[in-house]
Amino acid sequence: MRTKQKGKSEMGHNLSRKIRFTKHAREKFEVVKHYGFEIDEKEVVKTIQDPARVDKKGTQYLAIRAINAKYALRVVYEERKDYLLVITFYPVRRKRYGV
């Protein structure tokens, strides 16, 4: 299921909610670095808080935000009771996702 959301009030999650990372997500920083992408924790958090678009698939949210002229960052996360949990993230071509 893909949901295109419009308007800042409808997109992104509450800035005051704590954001945690799975072990896989923490390891992913080094993986994307190997492929030439300098992604840091701030960039992932910014994508969740101020996305260009958020899709929902089951219990997971997929936020996407441009990181440069050619690529966007896609962040997969879930809502938990008191925090948001980042499952993974990966760079994608903006053209493919229309961002």
pLDDT in tens, 48-68: 999 999 999 999 999 999 999
pLDDT at 94 over 60: yes
* Cα–Cα separations (whole angstroms), residue 30 to 39, 49, 95: 9, 23, 25
Is residue 3 situated within a structural domain?
A: no
Q: Which residues pair with 71 in a beta bridge?
A: 93
Is residue 4 situated within a structural domain?
A: no
Structural domain of 89? 18-97
pLDDT at 6 over 90: no
- CATH for 74: 3.30.2310
Instruction: Give the pLDDT of residue 14.
Output: 58
Is residue 53 situated within a structural domain?
A: yes
Instruction: Give 25-48 pLDDT, tens digit per residue.
Output: 999 999 999 999 999 999 999 999
How many domains does the chain divide into?
1
Instruction: Give the pLDDT of residue 17.
Output: 79
**Other C-beta atoms lying within 10 Å of the C-beta of residue 96:** 8
Instruction: Give the pLDDT of residue 21.
Output: 98
Mean pLDDT of 70-86: 96
Flag whether the pTM goes above 0.85.
Answer: no
